Amino acid sequence: MIVTQVLAAALGTVAFALLFGVPRKYYLYCGFIGGAGWLLYCLLEPVLNATEATFFASVLVIFLSRMGAVREKCPVTIFLISGIIPLVPGAGIYWSAFYMVTDQLAEAGEAGFAAVKAAIAIVLGIVCVFELPQGVFRFVKKDQPSRIRRKSRKKE
């Protein structure tokens, strides 16, 4: 069951990457990041509450997005925006609106408050990882071609 959900999250992430105009060469990264975030959410949700699981999954998504951005020398938003899509509390917002329209205000408040908590958890996850210095992500940097390294040594 979890494998199906992770694959659906990865495919949905790639679909949103396509929708957002992400270059084709980054689709695999986007799918991996979205799937990894959803996998962590699925593994943590039975142990923690949904808000905490969303926070840790969004931290993973942002961390992987920054790693991909450093590796590919591109903006982090290419991976971040599409990778965070599986964690967005769209169903909670829908149910909140549905309950309000059907005059079930207690349920609307619960669903709306849960959606707001999930959105805040995503924002806090983004902020926590974006506060890390860029040097933390240098370990994933691609090596320079050998001829470029030789030129730089000659200049010294």
In this predicted structure, what is the pLDDT of residue 53?
95
60-118, pLDDT tens digit by residue? 999 999 999 888 888 999 999 999 999 999 999 999 999 999 999 999 999 999 999 99
Phi, psi of 69 (to 5 degrees): -65, -40
Give kind and range of the element (H or E) at residue 100. helix 90-101
In this predicted structure, what is the pLDDT of residue 121?
95
51-60, pLDDT tens digit by residue? 999 999 999 9
| Other beta carbons within 10 Å of 61 | 30
Cα separation of the two ends of the chain:
58
Overall size of the chain counted in residues: 156
Specify the higher pLDDT residue, 64 or 130. 64
* 8 A C-beta contact, residue 63 and residue 133: no
Rounded Cα distance between 22 and 79, Å, is 9
* 8 A C-beta contact, residue 90 and residue 122: no
pLDDT above 80: residue 36: yes
In this predicted structure, what is the pLDDT of residue 1?
84
Can you give the residue ranges of every domain in the chain? 2-87+132-149
In this predicted structure, what is the pLDDT of residue 151?
54
Cα pseudo-dihedral 90, 52, 119, 29, rounded to 10? -70
* 8 A C-beta contact, residue 82 and residue 26: no
